[in-house]
A = this chain, B = another copy of it.
């Protein structure tokens, strides 16, 4: 193993100077810098990660905690975060705590706290205030996406607001028989999200003086498959069918469209469907949706943690509301006369 010593020797410099030259910190004359670089290159030398981290206290490594990598939202976010981090010269350590509660605990006690990461991005994961404080206490900035984190910075979208405008879009088209597919509440994740979207839906409905039909508020697990099953159940009872469905995610909207097709219901003529997300498949399903720019959220999260990492004192926690875009495609339309009757 060639170490920095070998480089120093070869370059005719001291270890300290080589370290400064390679890291770019501190003053080094251009000629020394060049000699150090050259020697390192010739020897194929690369700094030892652990030694640097131990000595400097910085890992150039950010932990990303997600409850799933499989659902679209999370995989899109991982894409966004990973490419931004790579740009910034940081590694990404992925903690998929999808499983049980025990796994989640292990991640916290065994992994996150071992000073292995410089910062944490937590997505749709509910953290106890105590856990957050523990991290912040050792100067580990933490940014939350998709839910409030007491005491930490967060990025979120206006869930209730966009749910409201999605519903209003349907109302504006003349729908009155509107269903809502919401998410199931999971243990310690996805916390208020389904609730916020649902309350936006209810608000828009009540503002319009319309009742919320209990049988038309169905739940699914945020996946296409789950929504498909759920939608089939709801759409099976022909006489009492809604003319429009507002799904709390695009995956669920797609599942609903697929279920509708199975029943021979044309979208949008006999059933309008709107989702939230900006899923890549939205285009080919002609899905009207509200795009929440997931990759942008990921990139923003990275900017926040990176800024926080090299800021001293730690910045005040703040709460950023990420903008969304209404994308009107062909899955929503004026209800056909007599449809859903």
Q: Which residues of A contact B (CB under 8 A)?
A: 1, 46-51, 53-54, 59, 61, 68-70, 75-76, 78-79, 82-83, 86, 89, 91-96, 98-99, 103, 106-107, 109-111, 113-116, 138, 223-225, 228, 255, 258, 261, 280-281, 283-285
Contacts and interface: CB of A to CB of B under 8 A. Distances in A.
Nearest to A281: B224
Contacts of A1: 138
B46 A113 contact: yes
Contacts of A261: 261
Contact of A49 (B79, B94, B96, B116): B116
Give the 7 A-B residue pairs with the shortest CB-CB distance, closest first: A49-B114, A50-B53, A82-B96, A49-B116, A50-B54, A94-B94, A228-B284
Contact of A96 (B51, B86, B106): B86
A260 to B, nearest CB: 12
8 contacts: A1-B138, A69-B75, A69-B82, A70-B79, A91-B116, A92-B93, A92-B95, A224-B284
A78 B96 contact: yes
A224 B251 CA distance: 14
Given A50-B115, A69-B82, 8 more contacts: A46-B110, A46-B113, A46-B115, A47-B114, A50-B50, A78-B94, A86-B95, A258-B285
A108 to B, nearest CB: 10
A109 B113 CA distance: 28
Contacts of A50: 50, 53-54, 59, 115-116
Contacts of A223: 280
Contacts of A89: 110
A123 B41 CA distance: 28
Nearest to A283: B225
A138 B49 CA distance: 14
Count of identical protomers in the assembly: 2
Nearest to A258: B284
A103 B89 CA distance: 10
Nearest to A134: B44
A281 B227 CA distance: 12
A115 B49 contact: yes
B94 A46 contact: no
Contact of A79 (B59, B69, B91, B225): B69
Give the residue among A49, A224, A283 with the most B Cβ atoms within 10 A. Answer: A49
A60 to B, nearest CB: 9
A281 B225 contact: yes
Contacts of A82: 69, 94-96
A84 B202 CA distance: 42
A49 B82 CA distance: 22
Nearest to A47: B114
B116 A96 contact: no
Contact of A83 (B49, B76, B83, B98): B98
Contact of A86 (B53, B78, B106): B106
B69 A284 contact: no
